[in-house]
Structure 1
Amino acid sequence: MTRLVKMGAIGAAALTMTGCISLGSEPPESLLTLSPSVTADAGTGADASTSDASSAISILPLEAPAKLDALRVPVAVSDTEIAYLQEAFWVEKPARLFRRLLGETLRARGGTLVLDNDDTPLLAAQSIRGTLMEMGYDAPSSSVIVRFDAIRTREDGTVMSRRFEARETGILAEPASVGPALNRAANTVADEVASWVTNAG
């Protein structure tokens, strides 16, 4: 498994191990990101007044475990060992990327004002939050996994939760294969969450 960088017991030590990624002055050749498979058409939109935000839905900042609180792609080597995929760097932390992906997926369905910006002054009556549990590579099964535990608060105060997961198997442990596969899996999860939100009323 030559393309994996193993984590040491002390996180900083991993950067000094033989064959590890250098985070020095030279930037990586390319960065990974998430691109929506569907987008809202130019010129389309929705609005809601600050006094009546019942038609708006806010996507709140998402939680993530420590292994995803980084710009690197985690790899599950075993049940008790985690590594990072060599030469694979996200342009932003995965939870922020997935939050925007989910927002654009909901926006593309139309008819709802979607707020996924921390600076918005509008307090939406509906919200989506949750934890991005997995967005990485599983070495034993040669697969990528995206898992999101979503919590939806409706305008009447009802709170619902659901786990969403997508995976693709037969993926080589290299950025050129893992990156696109994670993007497809993330879009599958975002689409399922959007369907859950819009169909639940």
Structure 2
Amino acid sequence: MANKLLIVAALVPLAGCIRFGATPPPSLLTIAPQAQPAAGTVQNSATGRAIVIEVPAVPQSIAGTRVPVQATDTSLAYVKDAQWAEPPARLFARLLSDTLTARAQMVVLSPAQSFDAPSATLGGELRTFGVDAVQRQAVVTYDASFTPAGKPTVEKRRFEARVPVGAIDAAQSGAALSQAANQVAQQVSDWVGTQR
């Protein structure tokens, strides 16, 4: 019995030193949509244009939740203590969904829902979602591909937004990236809204 108490007493000081995984940052970053549907808004795919928004493909540098910094043309670092609440591709897809609903009055469907309703498709690749250290800018680059409802053709277009960053830290980088992402989403919405 004395040996067991001695072992427990020896382990107690170590309990504060043991960590499983990395220390989480003080807060997680997300994108604040500048355009989104109002609560209670009713949409109907029978009377409105429907679209499916795919989660964009991404390069490995932005596949996770850290915020990349392009230090030189051939090297990357990450913003200290900056981490997204979820991967940027999903955050950006949700932003596109809100923006297209609010600005282009489109009915955003899931892939399963689109089987019963003819819908357009918006896909593409989120090429850049980080900070350019040389230019001191947050940069979002999205290569969009749009397929109209019931048509086999695909139209592609690149969208990009750059927003100045005063300091490359979690707070300023996150706010600037949110602003740049909204600018791109609005550009995409204006483009898709004119497609037939």
Taking structure 2 as the reference length, the TM-score comes to 0.82
Q: Aligned to 1:163, what secondary structure does the other structure show?
A: strand
Residue 199 of structure 1 deviates from its aligned partner by: 1.5
Residue 41 of structure 1 deviates from its aligned partner by: 1.4
Number of equivalences? 175
Residue 172 of structure 1 deviates from its aligned partner by: 1.0
1:87-98 matches, cutoff 5 A: 87-98=81-92
| 1:100 match | 94
| 1:3 match | none
Distance in 1, Cα, partners of 2:76 & 2:189: 31
Distance in 2, Cα, partners of 1:27 & 1:178: 18
Is residue 31 of structure 2 the alignment partner of residue 37 of structure 1? Answer: no
Percent of residue pairs bearing the same amino acid type: 39
Deviations 1:87-146 (A, max 9, x none): 00000000110000000000112642112x46x433343000000000100111111100
Match of 1:128 among 122, 130, 133: 122
Distance in 2, Cα, partners of 1:133 & 1:111: 27
Aligned AA for 2:138? V
| 2:45 match | 48
| 1:27 match | 24
Is residue 174 of structure 2 the alignment partner of residue 179 of structure 1? Answer: yes
Deviations 1:48-78 (A, max 9, x none): 26xxx98310001210000010110001010
| 2:137 match | 143
Conserved? CA contact 1:54–1:126, under 8 Å? no
Higher helix share: 2
Asked which structure has the greater CA Rg, the reply is 2
Conserved? CA contact 1:45–1:113, under 8 Å? no
Q: Aligned to 2:114, what secondary structure does the other structure show?
A: coil
Match of 2:194 among 182, 194, 199: 199
Q: Alpha carbons of 1:23 and 1:76: their partners in 2 closer, same or farther (altered >3 Å)?
A: farther
Match of 1:57 among 37, 44, 51: 51
Distance in 1, Cα, partners of 2:169 & 2:35: 26
Unaligned runs of 5+ in 2: 1-18
Residue 176 of structure 1 deviates from its aligned partner by: 1.1
Conserved? CA contact 1:37–1:187, under 8 Å? yes
| 1:157 match | 152
Conserved? CA contact 2:48–2:105, under 8 Å? no
Q: Alpha carbons of 1:137 and 1:41: their partners in 2 closer, same or farther (altered >3 Å)?
A: same
Deviations 1:12-38 (A, max 9, x none): xxxxxxxxxx98364321000111101
Distance in 2, Cα, partners of 1:179 & 1:83: 15
Q: Alpha carbons of 1:26 and 1:81: their partners in 2 closer, same or farther (altered >3 Å)?
A: closer
Match of 1:70 among 64, 69, 74: 64
Q: Alpha carbons of 1:57 and 1:187: their partners in 2 closer, same or farther (altered >3 Å)?
A: same
Q: Aligned to 1:195, what secondary structure does the other structure show?
A: helix
Aligned AA for 2:190? S
